[in-house]
């Protein structure tokens, strides 16, 4: 684990926030969505099968924790989540990572997935800070 | 569990194949992709947090098993998988389900996600049967 580093490609659209027991936790910088990215700190992992079963169970629990965070975050902004979208894709950046995204029936892309679509709106500094604090508190 | 039934909406694009310890397993009927759908047989589950931790760990292991199946299936068709895409979305059909999709760099939608996009091509009967047999054997 000591050699773990997030792929620099994640820096374009997300910021690092905190380390959970298994995952490096990032916040997607998009005001439209409460959206976390979890990167297991396991060298060279690309597929879920590259984790061992204990790591996979730990990842699942951190996915649920991330879902609680995005739910809290969205509620704090007055926009409660209708559905959580969770996905491990990796077609563009292969390093294993899991997206956990709060979705609303009135969001710009509903019911389509959010990935591979343009239109991100960077958070204002105070919004980004407020979101980061919610993650750190959980 | 005895009351479990898959939402009829799944019938439009997928076929039931087998029951694993936790999940009802369906095959998406799309010749372009080797694609399984896992539905935990847990009444009224919508989010991953509606499962208990043991069920979630079990789901994770069945997700990995589904990844092995789609990898085997794609290899048998001479089109090895480059990346597995795994997602629990539920924006259209809320009953908890997880997609496990084999992707190739030369597939029609790469690197975009497959959901919410038209163009499905139904499998020929022999292809559908061969795919089902691979699932049942795992």
Cα–Cα distance for residue pair A62/A59, rounded to 1 Å: 5
* Mean pLDDT, residues B41-45 taken together: 97
Rg over CA atoms, chain B: 14
Q: Residue A125 contacts by C-beta under 8 Å, 6 or more apart in sequence? A: none
* Mean pLDDT, residues B50-73 taken together: 98
Cα–Cα distance for residue pair B98/B89, rounded to 1 Å: 7
Interface contact B60-A57, CB threshold 8 A: yes
Residue-range domain boundaries for chain B: 8-109+119-137
Model-level pTM greater than 0.90?
yes
Residue B2 pLDDT exceeds 80: no
Interface contact A61-B53, CB threshold 8 A: yes
Q: Which residues of A touch B64 (CB under 8 A)?
A: 48-49, 56
Closest Cα in chain A to B57: A57
Q: How much of chain B exceeds pLDDT 90, in percent?
A: 96
Closest CA to B5 of B30, B42, B32, B37: B42
End-to-end, the C-alpha distance of chain B in Å comes to: 23
Give the CATH class of A8-109+119-137: alpha beta
Integer CA distances (angstroms), B114 to A100, B21, B39, B85, in order: 17, 27, 18, 9
Q: How much of chain A exceeds pLDDT 90, in percent?
A: 96
Q: Which residues of B touch A61 (CB under 8 A)?
A: 53, 56
Residue B27 C-alpha, separation from nearest chain A C-alpha, in angstroms = 19
Q: Which residues of B touch A46 (CB under 8 A)?
A: 83
* Mean pLDDT, residues A68-96 taken together: 98
Residue B138 pLDDT exceeds 90: no
Q: Does A7 touch chain B (CB under 8 A)?
A: no
Confidence of residue A3 (pLDDT cuts 50, 70, 90): confident
Residue B28 pLDDT exceeds 60: yes
């Amino acid at each position: 684990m000591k050699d773990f580093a997030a792929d620099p490609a994640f820096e374009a659209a997300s910021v690092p926030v905190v380390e959970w027991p298994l995952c490096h936790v990032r916040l997607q910088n998009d005001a439209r969505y409460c959206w976390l990215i979890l990167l297991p700190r396991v060298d060279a992992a690309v597929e879920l099968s590259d984790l061992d079963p204990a790591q996979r169970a730990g990842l699942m629990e951190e996915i649920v924790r991330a879902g609680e965070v995005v739910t809290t975050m969205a509620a704090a902004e007055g926009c409660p989540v209708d559905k959580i979208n969770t996905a491990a894709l990796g077609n563009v950046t292969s390093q294993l990572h899991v997206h956990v995204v709060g979705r609303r029936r009135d969001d710009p892309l509903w019911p389509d997935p959010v990935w591979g679509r343009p239109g991100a709106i960077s958070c204002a500094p105070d919004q980004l800070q407020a979101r980061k604090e919610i993650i750190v508190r959980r």
